[in-house]
Structure 1
Amino acid sequence: MSRKGPVTKFKWMPLPKTEKAESLNNPYCGLYAIYRFYADSAMLQPEGKMVEQISINTAHQLCLVEINLLPYNEMPLSEKAINNIERIFQYFIIQKKQMIVRFVYDWEGKGILNEPKDITIILNHMKQLSLLLKEYANNIYIVQGLFIGSWGEMHSSRYLSDRNMARLAKQLYECTGENTQIALRCPSFWRMLFQTYKPLDAETGYTDIQKARFSLFNDGMMASEVDFGTYGDIKAIDSKEYSDKWVREDELKFQSELCNYVSNGGEVINECAYNDPTLAISTLREMKVSYLHSEYDEQVLHKWKKSKCGFALWKEKTAYDYITAHLGYRFTLEEVDLSLASDKSGNIKVSIKITNMGFSPCYHKFEVKLIIRTAALFVVHKCTADTDTRKWLPNEKVLLEAVLPAAEWLTEKEHKQYQYSLCMGIYDPLSEQPIKIANTFAALDYTGVYSLGNFILGN
């Protein structure tokens, strides 16, 4: 009859864990392309393909889906429009993409001319779309803008007053799912809406209060000293109105703090010194940028592609390679250690140090599993690590610790030795995807479980 024996022999053999210089293609971050549709048609604009005929870059996890409501700028959305929008959403869901959705009334730079002349029409459109936005909340990561302005970018609009924007923001907040972020075009809009100079912090981030779901996007990123009107000329210390646009240095600092808890992304435009590779990398890291348009601005992207990266691991890669690989989160294992508990309990202590080398947090609570497998890959133990991946901030080491009941695995007769593997897997329940890490460990299987090392137990 089999019986458990005390653990008297133990040897830990960690596997090499060099960081690899390549993009990981994880959910909620990276490059994206734009897909444009009119609400009354499921045909891609201007190409003319039906939505089901669209080919999506497999390297992109994110897609910016723009829905133009111009045909309905004087009336409620029709049942046909609602059905078309749902059809569009369903296609991107089938393709397993996370959507950034932007509703607009203008693609010509004529926001005031094309948007509804009565704000109640916009508010009603939001209400009509609410069922869809909530039904597909797990797949709609971000809604960009408040439906207003040229290209939906919240400028050149008749609705930029504090009162109007507060009404639009409240309505959209109530009409979207609790996991969906709402991105504002300028940091000053965030301060104005929530009547505060203080960004989110550990007490307010990831709570159910309204401002905790409002993030940023910048389609004039690194274009000039003021990012083409995103920032202003007032120092934060001299600001007298919440709507004031601060100088670049103060706005970058504000974003760095706010975007510990909500996302930031957009387009880089206007080739200039502000988007030269070294400064661009520094700025993207300070802004905590997690997503960028893959096609715009071509001149800026070309400059990055022809510039070598100066970091040691990436010395053979371009600045473009480095930037795309660090958009969002990038988890790297620094150290893995196992030791036998000193209390003779037969338990093993696990200590894992992880650093997020990406520009931003992940903004999602992933499941982190520790798994013990035999040499034949049979699982003898699995547990969930006590951690919150949303709080794995850039360039900060995270320590995962656990105590595992090793004596329970020794069920054979005494004086035997057994070899096991310590494994770890990170999994996102919303996208149903494993999260890749930036080390050279080989994934054991399609679930994204990594072997961190082997150990021997004996009795």
Structure 2
Amino acid sequence: MKFKRILAAGMAVLCSVLPLCPAASAQGDGLVDSGIDYTELVGTVRTPGAGYTSTLAFRCKPGETKAYNPTGDLTLLFVDIGGFSSGSNGTTDSDGNYTPGTDYDLDGTFFKSMRTTLENCRQNGCMAALRFRYDANGVRDPEPATFEQMLRHIEQIRADGFLEDYQDILCFVESGFVGCYGEQWGGKYCSIPDKAKLLELMLDVVPDPIPVTVRTPNIFAQWAGITEEELGTYVLEPGSRASRVGLYNDGYMGSNSDLGTFHDRERDLKWLRQQTLTSYYGGEFSGNLDFAKQYDTYLPEHAVPEMYYSHLSYINANIYQLYKDYTFGAAYDVEGVDNSAYYGQTVFQFMRDHLGYRFVLRDSDLSESVSQGDTLRLCMDVENTGFANPIPRQKAEILLEKDGQYLRTEVDADSRTWYSCTTVSPEFDLHLPAAMEPGRWNVYFKLSTGDNTLGQLEYRSVQFANAHTWNEQLGANYLGSFSVTASEAGARSTDNGFYQTNAADPVTGSDGTLFTTQGLVTVDGTLTSDTERRDALLCAEDAAGNRMYITNDDQYLYILVDLEQQAASPVYNLSFRNASSGTSYWMYYQGSFVYFNGEGGVPLGCVQKHSGSTIEFRLPLGELMGLAPGVELTGIDYTVQDQADSWKSAGSIRADSYIIQDDFNVYSGKQTVNLAKGDTLSVAAHTSGSDLSYQWYKDGKLIPDATNAIYEILAESAQDCGIYAVQVTSASGVRTRLFDVCRVAAVLEQPLAGDLNLDGAVTVADVVLLQKHLIRAATLTDQQAAAGDLNKDGVCNGFDLVLLRRILCV
């Protein structure tokens, strides 16, 4: 094997093009070290869209497609549509003769269930991938009678639009469809030209830039119009259609060719290596271990370097158990990455934890003290010790926190280019609001995917592999803290924004609005925040100290249990009776298997997470179990059984009753601002509820007719200074306390013409800021742009720069 040598050369090229910001330089800029432990943490961390995957197989028939409830950082959905194909829905007689059935179009039940399943993915914090197939049992020729009917099914999928609607959580789509298991062998349409035609169609149907993966490299060669011999020298054009093509390998490590996946392993891996910087490579380990052992491909000294070389992003739960018999050490190292933290661990754990990307914070330096309205500087080093880089784009944000109130802004950082075996050093210059509260603020860095709401902060978020830095509730990584000090310049400024000033690409800034996580429950099987176990939520406690806590918001019922148990193979049971309907419900979780006695047998929207003695359940309000405000639950039982010991009870606790409250969360925090005379500021009540009504107050006094979710503060004089608060009322009349949303500290005269940085004077610094704005190296607030619009033509541009230079004679 030559992968170690090739890997080192490839990594050297990648490292040469990545900009670095050494810590020494950061220290020279007056930054201080955060004091974080930069040693890599041993253990599995959150890497949405990559890693140790779960699979969910479900069969679809005309009128009978069920919806499912996926969870996990990456779940591969095997969607068997054989019930719509004459090649699968026919009959077989006792002699094994098959009589074809009937080809059907996909129906409304299918599309409704697909959308429900993907919506559950979104609401459960899951990332998903898809394979459509006509066979789940290895039966040959499962496709429809004609190629055109298969194309009709694919066109129906395009026309429905669910791939488009859920693309924010969709990692990749396997080209699938044809052959046994959708693995593109043993079918009617499994010729290389047919599979290349299928790839072309799937690239049209799957929204750009979501990858489409093929089963073997020669399919790509046929599609690209090259020979197989040219694969090793193929040059991929960045951003091209070809850059979306990846590979799913269902014979992984099963032989020297991975059971026919590769025709020339070294050549095909050279092609794969460049493809997997922008697309996915993964699949499942070969299930025939005895056959695989005839070859040396699977041995760690070959497998580990190849996983790095090929950028393996995911593999299914069938990771070879034999890797537990090997101990990871220096002999399995590859050049360009520090894996010493894993010396002495099993190769199994090393592989599991390094699938996809794995970010380790190696340095974090930031300003020790910043004046109000000034710039917070942050510089960090992040090493990717994983096999691959992220493929879906991840939103990057900086969050600041003080006394449970948070400020956030998007920043310019593309983690897709944080390549395996490299260290990147992003720098962020962050403008702070002029009236930001003085004191000590904590800094967090957050990467996430998906269109997540404020109540879903932790969803699909990336965890750095460092100890004591991960904030589960925020889904963010701690970088250090700094002090904000009061300043006269800040007191004179009306720039309330929090935004990055050194962004190469424009990012969405923040208007300085603060939020809280009050009432937010994070279902992760651990004590995420003290509010999850506060005394007011305690519903049961026994003599052994086991406890049950119950609460709800407007969407879910949450049950958290602390119960000591020693089951070797635990099965987690939850049951209760809906006193309003008289119906009893029972569900248990055994590994990935879930039993539910409710309608359909699938607990849609339910989530269970456990760790040690702690378990958390999330149950949706609504039709599934008839849960709604005012409904009383009785006999709420949690029991752990040990499957390894004849299903005996290993512990239990019971709460007699809980009445579901008419409740919702208000996330609004109190921002402090300075406003310019004549300015209007919109403030909003951020809530988790619906069908709500609002009433705004100033300094505790009701503001007549201020009954919208958004209130506009018009700053006309000092009389408009004060605290603006909101009270929220549910449709049934339940009122919250007053929530302070904004404090107007000062109403100032309009800034001087040309005073872009709003420091009260027109200086060369304003020229520099305008120059940065014109080259997109800085973003002006509306007020700054108004101050820079010297010729009053409605825009701040190069003409204003000329005038400003004339004023200052520069």
What's the TM-score, normalizing by structure 1? 0.79
Per the alignment, do residues 115 and 401 of structure 1 end up closer, same or farther by CA in structure 2, a change over 3 Å counting? same
Distance 1:10 1:313 in 2: 28
Pairing partner for 1:251 from 268, 279, 283: 268
Deviation, structure 1 residue 90: 4.2
1:450 to 477, 480, 496: 477
Amino acid at match of 2:251: G
Native 8 Å contact 1:141 1:181 kept in 2 = yes
1:386 matched to 2:412: yes
* Residues 1:107 and 2:136 aligned together: yes
* Cα displacement (A) at 1:33: 3.0
Q: Match of 2:412, SS?
A: coil
Q: Per-residue displacement from partner, 1:333-377 (whole Å, max 9, x unpaired)?
A: 111223589xxx964542211111111111122222234445x35
Q: Which of the residues 83, 88, 92 maps onto 1:71?
A: 83
Q: Residue 424 of structure 2 aligns with which residue?
A: 398
Q: Is the 8 A contact 1:15 1:454 kept in 2?
A: no
Aligned to 2:258: 227
1:193 Cα deviation after fit: 0.9
Tell me the residue number matched to 1:237: none
Q: CA deviation at 1:226?
A: 1.0
Give the alignment partner of residue 159 of structure 1, picking from 189, 194, 211.
189
Give 1:290 deviation, angstroms.
Answer: 1.1
Separation in 2 of the partners of 1:89 and 1:382? 28
When residues 77 and 286 of structure 1 are mapped into structure 2, their CA distance, relative to the original with a 3 A threshold, is same
- Counterpart residue type for residue 393 of structure 1: Y
Asked if the contact 1:340–1:346 (Cα under 8 Å) also holds between the matched residues in 2, the reply is no
Q: Is the 8 A contact 1:36 1:65 kept in 2?
A: yes
Distance 1:262 1:42, change over 3 A: farther
Aligned residue in 2 for 1:324 = 352
1:433 aligned residue (443, 456, 460): 460
Q: Structure 1 pair 410/428, CA: closer, same or farther in 2 (3 Å)?
A: closer
Rate the CA distance shift 1:407–1:282 in 2: closer, same or farther, 3 A.
same
Amino acid at match of 2:326: S
| Deviation sequence 1:217-262 (CA, Å, 0-9, x none) | 1011111111111112xxxxxxxxxxxxxx1111222211110110
Measure how far apart 1:27 and its partner are: 1.1
1:436 Cα deviation (Å)? Answer: 0.9
Give the Cα–Cα distance (whole angstroms) in 2 for the partners of residues 37 and 346 of structure 1.
56
* TM alignment of 1:2-401, pairs within 5 A: 13-40=34-61, 51-52=67-68, 60-74=72-86, 75-79=103-107, 80-111=109-140, 113-130=141-158, 131=160, 132-196=162-226, 197=231, 201=236, 203-204=237-238, 207=239, 209-232=240-263, 247-269=264-286, 270-271=288-289, 272=293, 273-294=296-317, 296=318, 301-310=320-329, 312-338=340-366, 347-374=375-402, 376=403, 378-379=405-406, 382-401=408-427
**Whole-Å separation in 2 of the counterparts to 1:357 and 1:62:** 19
Kindly provide the amino acid, as one letter, of the partner of residue 120 in structure 1: E
Q: Aligned partners of 2:384, 2:223: CA distance in 1, in Å?
A: 31
Q: In 1, distance between residues paired with 2:187 and 2:122? A: 32
Contact 2:211 2:245 in 1 (8 A): yes
- What's the secondary structure of 1:124's corresponding residue? helix
Structure 1 stretch displaced more, 185-194 or 12-21: 12-21
CA offsets 1:137-160 (integer angstroms, 9 cap, x no match)? 333322213411121111223424
Counterpart-to-counterpart distance in 2, 1:109 and 1:337? 56
Deviation at 1:181, TM superposition (A): 2.0
Q: In structure 2, do the counterparts of structure 1 residues 78 and 447 end up closer, same or farther at CA, with 3 Å as the change threshold?
A: same
What are the ranges of 5 or more consecutive residues in structure 1 without an aligned counterpart? Answer: 1-8, 45-49, 233-246, 413-417
Quote the offset at 1:20 in angstroms. Answer: 0.5
Cα-to-partner distance string for 1:22-46 (whole Å, 9 max, x where unaligned): 11132101122332222217989xx
Shift of 1:78: 4.2
User: In 1, are the aligned partners of 2:82 and 2:133 still within 8 Å (CA)?
Assistant: yes
Q: Which residue identity does 2:448 align to in structure 1?
A: Y
- Contact 1:20–1:440 (Cα < 8 Å) also in 2: yes
Distance 2:167 2:129 in 1: 11
Q: CA RMSD in A?
A: 3.1
Larger RCO (CA under 8 A, 6+ residues apart): 1
Contact 2:254/2:285 (<8 A) preserved: yes
Larger radius of gyration: 2
**How has the CA–CA distance of structure 1 residues 11 and 200 changed in structure 2, closer, same or farther, with 3 Å as cutoff?**
same
- 1:238 matched residue in structure 2: none
How far apart in 2 are the matches of 1:128 and 1:221? 32
Report the Cα distance in structure 2 between the residues aligned to 1:327 and 1:277, rounded to whole angstroms: 14
Stretches of structure 2 that go unaligned for 5 or more consecutive residues are 1-29, 87-102, 330-338, 453-458, 488-810
CA contact (8 A) 1:39 1:84 kept: no
**1:371-428 superposed Cα distances (whole Å, 9 cap, x missing partner):** 4445x3555x75433221111110111111123457957887xxxxx54433322222
SS of match in other structure, 2:164: helix
> Contact 1:199 / 1:258 at 8 angstroms: preserved in 2?
no
What residue identity is the alignment partner of 2:346?
Answer: T
Q: Secondary structure at the match of 2:381?
A: strand
User: 1:439 deviation in Å?
Assistant: 0.9
* Partner SS, residue 145 of structure 1: strand
The more displaced of 214-223 and 162-171 is: 162-171
Q: 1:450: how far off?
A: 2.7
The one-letter code of the counterpart of 1:20 is L
Whole-Å Cα distance in 2 between the matches of residues 453 and 68 of structure 1? 49
AA at the equivalent of 1:38? R
Q: Structure 2 length normalisation: TM-score?
A: 0.46
CA distance in structure 2 between the aligned counterparts of 1:282 and 1:200, rounded to whole angstroms: 23
> Alpha-carbon deviations, 1:60-80, whole Å to 9, x = none?
322222222223224232424
